[in-house]
């Protein structure tokens, strides 16, 4: 079979994402063209963009969203704002895609792939590792972090029944205490481009109020990234804000993305003056409840081993880093 490699733009990737005839598997929100473009534009890394598409005649087999520095290639994205990454490939075409890609990278003078934040079901772990080893390349993979996920049942009662007795009792007790407070309201909104600015203002305020380390994390550059990301995801109708109000004041918010029947909990914030009502935790509990009502299949707590994720029924999933040396 004859293959070619073409260099693409974020605009062309967007056209491939919107055209389902290409059959590409965009495995998570973190590899969508809009996400990649926002990250690249906001952080302006001192690297060379390598957006390669492997084609068999006019058909796209897969896309490599990479950046290059010296003789090393790595994914577009960074660990502080992207929870896991991967290539974008037509299912069944992984072997051909990776062989062609490795050939092209070597022709470009690349001697190492440094690929981070990989789930065990990523194409890197399930396919690229074997392709590279079969070619005699050195492959080193190691577990570096964890993400936490939850398969959602059909009903709220089934979800509660799946928790251990102590956590089920605690959630019911805390919810009862919350609803006994004055004028409590919760809603999880699909955010329109017209609403995104004001809602993001409120979210960022609560984010900084939550904890000192969150306030330190939210630098001017990071705030610009969050605002641009929120706007881009709202335009794709993927952004959701979960808003918990007490006495008509916003007490807690979550920022999430609704993609492929999964709800991604990207980040959250709350006002510490409402600590007695457990608004930080319950804003997530109520969003899980709302996601079940909408028929979502998964709830992704994303990277990090925070205790509350396990208390709410999450299961740990390892994340790997892989280095492939092509010498």
**Extents of the domains making up the chain:** 4-144+319-325, 153-296
Burial, 99: exposed, middle or buried (Cβ in 10 Å; 0-12, 13-18, 19+)? middle
Q: Is 79 helix (H, G, I), strand (E, B) or coil?
A: coil
CA proximity to 189, closest of 254, 114, 249, 124:
254
Exposure string (b/e) for 8-42, b if CB count within 10 Å is 16 or more? bebebbbebbeeeebebbbbbbbbbbbbbbbbbeb
| Helix (H), strand (E) counts: the chain | 12, 13
Q: What is the pLDDT of residue 206?
A: 98
- The fold adopted by the segment(s) 153-296 is Aminopeptidase (3.40.630)
Residue 286 has pLDDT above 80, yes or no: yes
182 pLDDT band, cuts 50/70/90, is: confident
Is 297 exposed, middle or buried, given 0-12, 13-18 or 19+ CB atoms closer than 10 A?
middle
Reported as a single tens digit per residue, the pLDDT across 290-315 is 999 999 999 999 999 999 999 999 99
- Residue 250 pLDDT level (bands cut at 50, 70, 90): very high
The token pair at 265 is: 């909990």
Structure tokens at 285: 């509990």
Strands 88-89 and 72-75: unpaired
Angle at 324 between CA 100 and CA 64, to 5 degrees: 45
pLDDT at residue 173 greater than cutoff 80: yes
* pLDDT for the residue 324: 98
Q: 63 vs 26, 42, 165, 187, 318, CA distance in Å?
A: 10, 22, 46, 37, 24
Predicted pLDDT at 23: 95
CA distance 207 to 199: 12
- Strands (E) located in the chain: 4-7, 48-56, 59-69, 72-75, 88-89, 112-119, 138-151, 184-190, 239-246, 249-259, 262-270, 298-303, 315-325
Give the pLDDT confidence score for residue 261 in this predicted structure.
96
DSSP H or E run through 284: helix 279-293
Task: Give the mean model confidence (pLDDT) for residues 186-193.
Answer: 95
Instruction: Give me the CATH code for the 4-144+319-325 domain, please.
Output: 3.40.630.30
> Which pLDDT value is given to residue 327?
81
Q: How far is CA 114 from the centre of its chain?
A: 19
Tokens of 156: 């709220």
pLDDT band at 121 (very low <50, low <70, confident <90, very high): very high
Could you tell me which of 327, 296, 321, 322 has the C-alpha nearest to residue 149?
296
Averaged pLDDT for residues 18-26: 93
What's the whole-number mean pLDDT along residues 49-53?
98
Cα distances (angstroms) measured from residue 123 to each of 103, 131, 138: 18, 11, 18
Q: Which residue has the tokens 């964890």?
A: 146
Average pLDDT over residues 147-160: 98
- Do 153-296 and 4-144+319-325 have the same topology in CATH? yes
> Up-side HSE of residue 145: CA atoms within 13 Å toward CB?
18
Angle between helices 220-235 and 33-43 (to 10 degrees): 160
pLDDT of residue 204: 98
Give the mean model confidence (pLDDT) for residues 229-245: 98
Q: What is the pLDDT of residue 58?
A: 85
Q: Is the pLDDT of residue 240 over 90?
A: yes
> Residue 235 pLDDT more than 80?
yes
Answer whether residue 214 shows pLDDT above 80.
yes
Angstrom CA distances, 7 to 48, 53, 208, 288, stand at 12, 6, 40, 41
Structure tokens belonging to residue 102:
């490795």
* Mean predicted confidence (pLDDT) in 222-242: 98
């Amino acid at each position: 079979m004859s293959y070619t490699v073409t260099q693409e733009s974020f605009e062309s990737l967007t056209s491939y994402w919107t055209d389902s005839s290409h059959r590409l598997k965009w495995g998570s929100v973190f590899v969508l063209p809009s996400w990649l473009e926002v990250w690249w534009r906001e952080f302006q890394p001192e690297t060379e963009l390598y957006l390669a598409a492997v084609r068999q005649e006019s058909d796209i087999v897969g896309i490599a969203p990479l950046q290059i520095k010296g003789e090393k290639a790595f994914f577009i994205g960074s660990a502080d704002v992207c929870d896991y990454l991967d290539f974008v490939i037509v299912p069944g075409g992984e072997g051909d895609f990776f062989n062609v890609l490795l050939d092209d990278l070597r022709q470009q003078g690349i001697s190492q792939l440094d690929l981070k934040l990989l789930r065990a079901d990523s194409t890197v772990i399930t396919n690229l590792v074997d392709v590279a080893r079969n070619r005699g390349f050195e492959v080193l993979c190691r577990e570096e972090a964890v993400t936490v996920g939850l398969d959602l049942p059909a009903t709220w009662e089934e979800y509660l029944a799946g928790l251990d007795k102590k956590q089920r009792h605690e959630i019911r007790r805390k919810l009862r205490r919350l609803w006994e407070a004055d004028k409590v309201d919760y809603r999880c909104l699909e955010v329109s481009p017209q609403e995104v600015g004001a809602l993001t203002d409120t979210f960022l305020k609560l984010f900084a109020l939550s904890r000192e380390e969150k306030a330190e994390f939210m630098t001017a550059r990071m705030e610009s990234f969050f605002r641009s990301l929120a706007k881009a995801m709202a335009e794709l109708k993927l952004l959701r804000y979960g808003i918990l109000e007490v006495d008509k004041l916003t007490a807690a918010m979550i920022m999430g993305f609704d993609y492929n029947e999964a709800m991604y909990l990207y980040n959250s914030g709350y006002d510490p003056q409402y600590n007695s009502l457990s608004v930080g935790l319950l804003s997530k509990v109520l969003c899980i409840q709302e996601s079940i009502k909408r028929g979502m299949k998964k709830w992704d707590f994303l990277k990090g081993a925070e205790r509350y994720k396990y208390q709410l029924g999450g299961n740990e999933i390892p994340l790997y880093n892989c280095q492939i040396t092509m010498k």
